[in-house]
Amino acid sequence: MKKLSTAHARKTLTAVVAVFLFAGLGLLGYSLLAGGTPASAESPDRVHGRISEELEEKFHRSIPERIVETVRSPLRGSRAKTPEGKRLELTVPALDRVDRVPVYDAPESGYERALHDGLVHVRGTGFPWQDVANVYIAGHRVGYPGTRSNLVFWDLDKLEKGDEIFLTDADGTRYTYEVFEKRVISPDTVSIMRPTKGKNIVSLQTCTLPDYSHRLIVRGELKGEK
């Protein structure tokens, strides 16, 4: 059997960690909706610590042995100059709460903090200025009161084909996407993060309601930039 290169193995781990980390995106929301400890009674750090322990246990129980898939970052070139930084902002006109919400390009160790403060760009996936990319962004369904994560993707299921999604990069370039697909997947569907041949797309992920057992994905295709 051909051995995986170090870089190949790292991308595989990145993909697996990302998917199973997001398996816990609904834990906070489940606690709040099911009558758990109110957010006001615990500091965010304590809540995050509790969630981390649950996620770690869930992670080790849930990794399928068959997963050998990777997320291949499309580095075939760019249509425009690469911006100074990788931070993005997301705006979805059809969703009142999603207006210039920060999207952080955080390392895996920083996902929890990024998800507390806004949205996270999954490492190993593309960026809008690349020729072929799947810009994969994840966020909480419920989130934390008083932060940009609060109910940020609560209404994500309301998006329909033709709705617009805007991403703005660090240099102010705005990329306009049009929704073409909405689907529900299982938490171990790693292939959803791969780029689509010949296309530049954005994928928005959150948890399904009411039990947070699956992932809701909304995808849009790039239609223009300015």
For residue 70, is it within any domain? Answer: no
Contacts of residue 64, defined as CB under 8 A and 6 or more positions apart, other chains included, come to 188
**Chain centroid to CA 145:** 19
**CATH code where residue 23 lies:** 2.40.260.10
pLDDT value, residue 165 = 99
Judge whether 146 lies within some domain: yes
Running DSSP on this structure, what letter comes out for residue 192?
A: G
Q: Would residue 1 count as lying in a domain?
A: no
Chain-wide mean pLDDT for the chain? 76
For residue 80, the model assigns a pLDDT of: 54
DSSP 123-140: TTS--TTBSSEEEEEE--
Q: Which domain holds residue 59?
A: 6-64+78-225
Point out the residues of the chain with pLDDT beneath 70: 1-81
Angle at 68 between CA 62 and CA 74, to 5 degrees: 115
Q: Which helix (H) or strand (E) holds 204?
A: strand 200-207
The catalytic residue positions are 140, 207
- Beta-carbon contacts of 1 under 8 Å, excluding residues fewer than 6 positions away, are none
Tell whether 133 is covered by a domain: yes
**Residue in the structure block whose two tokens are 């507390």:** 116
* pTM > 0.75: no
- Tally of structural domains, the chain: 1
Res 81: pLDDT? 65
Q: What confidence score (pLDDT) does residue 61 get?
A: 38
Q: Is 167 contained in some domain?
A: yes
